[in-house]
Chain A
Amino acid sequence: MATVKQLPASGASAQAAPRTNAPSNHRRRRRWLGLAYLAPALAVYGFVVLVPAIQGVWLSFYHWNGITAASWAGLANYLGFLQDPALRQAIEHTVFFIVFFSVLPITLGLASAALTARKDVKGAAVYRWVIFLPQVLTPAVTAVMWKRVYAPDGPINSVLRALGLDSLAHGWLGDYDWALPALGIAGTWAAFGLCMVLFVAGTQAIPAELYDAARVDGAGPIREFRTVTLPGLRGQLAIAVTLTVLGAIRVFDIVWLTTRGGPGTSTITPTVVMYQRAFANPDVGAASAIGVVLALVSLLIALVVVRLSEDGNR
């Protein structure tokens, strides 16, 4: 409360001096006060995020089963990325998932943004509401839904049988070859609403004159997209790439709730391997190493994309 009493005097001097170079007593006190306001959040953040992040790095250099004493492992847990077949397969699946979680949703989002750019599409709000809906649904519910859709007696197979393609009908999620793309499509379904809304909002910020000029110049839809829409969406594109690629490398819920990584290891992902290593037959060091690599890759992607999009703005 002492601060409040002294405010009139110091406030007046701060007002008289230029704002930039007035490291007055008052401002310094304000910054300590700021730290006090921040302290509770910082404490929780430190306990839940920072400390475990450091511990994770430390644990990743040990062999530990979670109970008995840990032993030094050196880089063994990291070499697992090269040697462990399950982990290697998981990384391959991640690349596969990036196509379905990132490339396809972004393509669909761009297409819909280009089609609706600057045009009065009646009922646009309704389309947007519907297409964004999967973002809101709980992954647990999404999983129940897609399990049903892909079931041996589910709607996809009913349609195939109705078309006389009985030979193609099977349990999609139980199939070694089809489970992964089937989950990929579920991922596209869940992700493209966000991409679309992001891009449609972005096109609305593009000046209408640019579109008019392109039309006057005789540009068709494709050249208009290339010269007006795409450059205007650079920032949104950066956000979409970051979000969806990170989503693809982190994917856990939908896989765990539908296939548990199976059949066999045909849909296994790095986070599923991590979960199994950490809790099923604990190899905490190996699980931690996966976590560390996940964090590094995520940071790298975020930094690269931010840098790229900023270069474009300058």
Chain B
Amino acid sequence: MISTREKIFNYAFLTLLAVSVLFPIVYILGVAISPSTSGTLDLAHPQWSNFATAWQQAGFARYLRSSVIITGTVVGVSTVLAVMSGYAFGVLGVVGEKALFPLMLLGIMIPMESIIVPLYYDFLAFDLTDGYQGIILAHIGTGVSFGAFWMRAAFRTMPAGIAESAELDGAGSWTRLWRIYLPISRPAILTFVVLSFMWTWNDYFLSLILVADPAHQPLTLGLGTFSGRHLVQVNLLAAAAVLMSLPIVGLYLFFQRQFIRGMLSGALKG
């Protein structure tokens, strides 16, 4: 039914889009292995040592450590909170749910930019702007709404019958959550973990404002500092950028479906 001309046009269009997406990425990869510090592309003499040099000069190990600590804690705690609040809203029911659920949803719709100024002064008063605690707390707090919403939807799709019979057998709410609901909702939880990881790992805005001490700053801020200091060594800057993207792109390779599904169905995070 579909003409060859239309088919060719399809491929041409999609290829054009894909090439324009890939162009800056491939270009920066090329710059990262070029020997020229001015950023001129020179693929004839690939200089792989740029990665090692950038790693050392940017103090990558330190920033990486911060990113891992922040992201690891945030993803862990957020997942537990998402499961618990989703279980509360989706299965147990909550006292005052008619008011509490919309209140929680508000957190998905209010952009975090709106609360950052008062949040900064609060954190300053509580002395939370220097270490990891503040930024971790901020990430968890801004992600909790989405988590509750996401896991509520996941738990709601499950047949009530299984859990009810377990309840009749005398299983408490914790046992039912642990033995019945968690195993079935593993795909939804995995998607949440992937999204939470990406949002935390990629964050620049919250960290810029809430982490004043360089010793506790994540990679995204480190790259900013590095690009400020190394305006002249463009190839090293490019190499640092490539190194920084590796974990998240690697994760994307493995969990492609979770990334895309999560972004599509729950993409309204503030």
Q: A31-B94, A38-B85, A144-B238 are in contact. Are A250 and B38 (CB under 8 A)?
A: no
Residues of A within 8 A of B49 (CB): none
CB distance from A189 to the nearest CB of B (A): 7
Query: Which of B13, B96, B141, B172 contacts A1 (CB under 8 A)?
Result: B172
- Nearest residue (CB) in A for B242 is A141
Residues of A within 8 A of B167 (CB): 7, 11
| Contact code string A33-65 (vs B, CB < 8 Å = 1, else 0) | 111111011101101111111011001000000
Interface size of B in residues (CB-CB distance below 8 Å): 104
Q: A38-B88, A138-B248, A145-B25 are in contact. Are A50 and B103 (CB under 8 A)?
A: yes
| Residues of chain A in range 142-166 having any CB-CB distance to chain B below 8 Å | 144-149, 151, 153-155
CB distance from B43 to the nearest CB of A (A): 13
Instruction: Please determine whether A136 and B198 come into contact, CB atoms closer than 8 angstroms.
Output: yes
| Residues of chain A in range 240-286 having any CB-CB distance to chain B below 8 Å | 242-243, 246, 250, 252-253, 256-257, 271, 274-275, 278-279, 284
Instruction: Please determine whether B115 and A130 come into contact, CB atoms closer than 8 angstroms.
Output: no
Query: Which of B92, B113, B168 contacts A31 (CB under 8 A)?
Result: B92
* Interface size band for A: 35 or more
CB distance from B34 to the nearest CB of A (A): 11
Instruction: Please determine whether B84 and A138 come into contact, CB atoms closer than 8 angstroms.
Output: no
Instruction: Please determine whether B6 and A221 come into contact, CB atoms closer than 8 angstroms.
Output: yes
- Nearest residue (CB) in B for A197 is B260
Does B140 reach chain A (CB closer than 8 Å)? yes
Instruction: Please determine whether B109 and A302 come into contact, CB atoms closer than 8 angstroms.
Output: yes
CB distance from B150 to the nearest CB of A (A): 12
Residues of A within 8 A of B93 (CB): 27, 30-31, 34
Does B44 reach chain A (CB closer than 8 Å)? no
Interface of B, helix, strand, loop or mixed by DSSP: helix
Q: A7-B168, A132-B259 are in contact. Are A112 and B173 (CB under 8 A)?
A: no
Does A108 reach chain B (CB closer than 8 Å)? yes
Query: Which of B88, B100, B198, B204 contacts A257 (CB under 8 A)?
Result: B204
Instruction: Please determine whether B256 and A129 come into contact, CB atoms closer than 8 angstroms.
Output: yes
Does A168 reach chain B (CB closer than 8 Å)? no
CB distance from B186 to the nearest CB of A (A): 19
Query: Which of B9, B141, B220, B248 contacts A49 (CB under 8 A)?
Result: B141
Residues of B within 8 A of A226 (CB): none
Instruction: Please determine whether B141 and A144 come into contact, CB atoms closer than 8 angstroms.
Output: no
Does B133 reach chain A (CB closer than 8 Å)? no
Q: Kindly count the residue-residue contacts between A and B in the assembled complex, taking CB atoms under 8 Å apart.
A: 294
Instruction: Please determine whether B260 and A128 come into contact, CB atoms closer than 8 angstroms.
Output: yes
CB distance from A226 to the nearest CB of B (A): 17
- Nearest residue (CB) in A for B109 is A302
Instruction: Please determine whether B10 and A111 come into contact, CB atoms closer than 8 angstroms.
Output: no
> Which 6 A-B residue pairings sit nearest by Cβ, starting from the closest?
A48-B141, A34-B92, A295-B114, A55-B118, A37-B88, A52-B118
Contacts A252-B113, A295-B115 given; 9 further ones with Cβ under 8 A? A30-B173, A40-B81, A136-B248, A145-B27, A275-B209, A288-B117, A294-B114, A295-B110, A299-B109
Chain B residues within 8 Å of A, Cβ to Cβ: 1-2, 6-7, 9-11, 13-15, 17-18, 20-25, 27-28, 31, 38-41, 81-82, 84-85, 87-89, 91-97, 100, 103-104, 106-107, 109-111, 113-122, 137-138, 140-142, 144-145, 147-148, 164, 167-168, 170-173, 198, 201-202, 204-205, 208-209, 219-221, 223-224, 227, 234, 237-238, 241-242, 244-245, 248-249, 252, 256, 259-260, 263-264, 267-268, 270
A-B contact pairs, 10 of them (CB 8 A): A1-B172, A35-B96, A37-B84, A37-B173, A48-B138, A55-B122, A129-B256, A148-B28, A189-B24, A252-B205
